[in-house]
Amino acid sequence: MKTDQELFKRSPFWIFLSLVTSSFIFISCINSEEKVYENAADIPTGYEMQAELTAPPNVPRGVGRRKAKKLIVNMEILEQEGTMTDGTTYMYWTFGGSVPGSFIRTRVGDEVEFTLSNHPDNKLPHNIDLHAVTGPGGGAESSFVAPGYEKTFSFKTLNPGLYVYHCATAPVGMHIANGMYGLILVEPEGGLPQVDKEYYIMQGDFYTKGKNGERGLQPFDMQKAVDEKADYVVFNGRVGALTGENAITAKVGETVRLYVGNGGPNLVSSFHVIGEIFDKVYVEGGDLINENIQTTLIPAGGAAIVEFRVDVPGSLVLVDHSIFRAFNKGALGILKVEGEENKKIYSGEIREGIYLPEGPGIQEMPTTDEIVESKTHAKSFEEQMEYGKQVYMQTCFACHQSEGQGIPKAFPPLAKSDYLNADVNRAIDIVVNGLSGEITVNGEKYNSVMTRQMISSEEVANVLTYVYNSWGNSKKVVTKEMVDKVKNR
């Protein structure tokens, strides 16, 4: 026999009362969690969690609505040889084994416990200065660490924003120039708005004893760095880090957020995406949001967040719009967008016509007499192909593209080219002396200008050998003697 109390607990009124009470308690808990603190230093931290660190161009997952935590960051310094460009290597000094260093993602109010380890095989002491830190040296004074040791310090994230970190051990410029920089993101409470794709990109300028493209392991050149005469200006530590198989991707209709930093040590970046307009730019990585921006300045030691929606398919080119840096020193990347075309937004070519400008202006081929002889000499066909590819990527890539496909109506293809394969001496002459006027390649007419290429006879031979033995061409081998013969006739 059930008691009156038991029957009451089963009654609809009791169930209703229980639900109301539970809802009140739940809402009270939510309100407690969403308490607003005037000073971020007062935000309490919950249990410990290990920070997710990622190498570029990847970023960790967003913080969402998580509460502030004690965030454990473990970062290792590694001095290691890596590729600057084909045939050229460099001794990078890295945070986490990549240039830029590992991406760190936090939120306002986190207590970050940071352990910096200097690998025992390294040669030099290092430290870290995080621009997100309020404290002496941004943590540098507490993190100076010799090879084989580690240092731990902690800091509170007080200000939301995207911040640079870098080594601050003397000579500071040298440590940064060797690749010791990265980004730390401090998200606001509640996190940043969600987007479809996020990527991590950081520009840096490098100074080598050899000129751009000179082969072998290239040491750092302090005098060039002091004079601010960069041999390479690159995204993510090397030429081609964001091209070819390394290109970042998106689909039509997706929103893209780029976390863009500039490690310097010297040059300001004019960051631009060819074929897109930034819907939003978080200016210098802070709270100020600018809209409908074409190019944004990012100072050395600074950052910006850019967001945009991709509406049409194609390869969007990321550049430093100080444009010789992009096409001649390496500051170039690709965002490959796939999906359906939208003719309302971009039609593609509609018609071709003849343009006859008025006035007396005459186009002339630009010329110069300065040709620097190559210091490397191919001893085999394999080396010719290797050296030739390097020359191609430095001098031919922008017009003729990575697989020799050219640019329709502008620059002819080199892949399966009837014009190229018909006469090797004509091809040599074009590279040596330039070409202007109308030609027909694979049945299509082209009327553009190819300037004289200021490269040595051996480099001409190597690059033509590479082209002839790529993309379905005739597999001819061009020698230095063949090039000299054309030059002297």
pLDDT at 356: 47
**Contact criterion met (CB below 8 Å) for 233 and 325:** yes
Q: Residues 75, 84, 167, 396: which is the catalytic one? A: 167
Q: Residues 45, 295, 376, 479: which is the catalytic one? A: 295
Decide if 399 is catalytic: no
Q: Residues 79, 166, 169, 320: which is the catalytic one? A: 166
**In this structure, is the dihedral angle defined by the CA atoms of residues 184, 189, 190 and 193, taken in order, positive or negative?**
negative
Q: Residues 79, 110, 111, 129: which is the catalytic one? A: 129
pLDDT at 358: 47
CA distances from 178 to 47, 90, 224, 238, 256 (A): 37, 9, 13, 12, 30
Ranges of the chain whose pLDDT falls below 70: 1-36, 349, 351-376
Q: Residues 84, 85, 111, 131: which is the catalytic one? A: 131
Q: Residues 89, 254, 321, 399: which is the catalytic one? A: 321
pLDDT digits (tens, 9 = 90+) for 151-207: 999 999 999 999 999 999 999 999 999 999 999 999 999 999 999 999 999 999 999
Predicted TM-score (pTM) of this structure: 0.77
Hey, which CATH number is domain 198-338, 3.40.50.10470, 3.30.830.10, 2.60.40.420, 2.40.10.120? 2.60.40.420
Q: Residues 34, 141, 291, 418: which is the catalytic one? A: 291
pLDDT at 33: 45
Tokens of 426: 């004509």
User: Strand, helix or coil at 61?
Assistant: coil
The two beta strands, 181-187 and 161-166, are antiparallel
Instruction: Report, at the CATH architecture level, how domain 41-188 is classified.
Output: Sandwich (2.60)
Decide if 321 is catalytic: yes
Residue 433 pairs with which residues in a beta bridge?
none
pLDDT digits (tens, 9 = 90+) for 102-143: 999 999 999 999 999 999 999 999 999 999 999 999 999 999
pLDDT at 60: 97
**Contact criterion met (CB below 8 Å) for 256 and 196:** yes
Instruction: Report, at the CATH architecture level, how domain 381-488 is classified.
Output: Orthogonal Bundle (1.10)
DSSP letters along 198-233, please? Answer: EEEEEEEEE-BSSPTT--EEEPB-HHHHHHT--SEE
Q: Residues 111, 189, 272, 307: which is the catalytic one? A: 272
Query: How many other β-carbons are positioned within 10 Å of the β-carbon of residue 294?
Result: 10
Q: Where are the domains of the chain?
A: 41-188, 198-338, 381-488
pLDDT at 40: 80
Decide if 272 is catalytic: yes
pLDDT at 380: 92
Decide if 119 is catalytic: no
Decide if 400 is catalytic: no
pLDDT at 11: 57
Q: Sheet of 248-251: strands edge to edge?
A: 248-251, 332-338, 314-320, 269-274, 295-298
Decide if 295 is catalytic: yes
**Contact criterion met (CB below 8 Å) for 275 and 216:** no
pLDDT at 39: 81
Tokens of 114: 């940071």
**Contact criterion met (CB below 8 Å) for 263 and 93:** no
**Contact criterion met (CB below 8 Å) for 116 and 166:** no
Dist CA 72 CA 133 (whole Å): 15
pLDDT at 408: 78
Decide if 175 is catalytic: yes
**Whether the domain at 41-188 and the domain at 198-338 fall into the same CATH topology:** yes
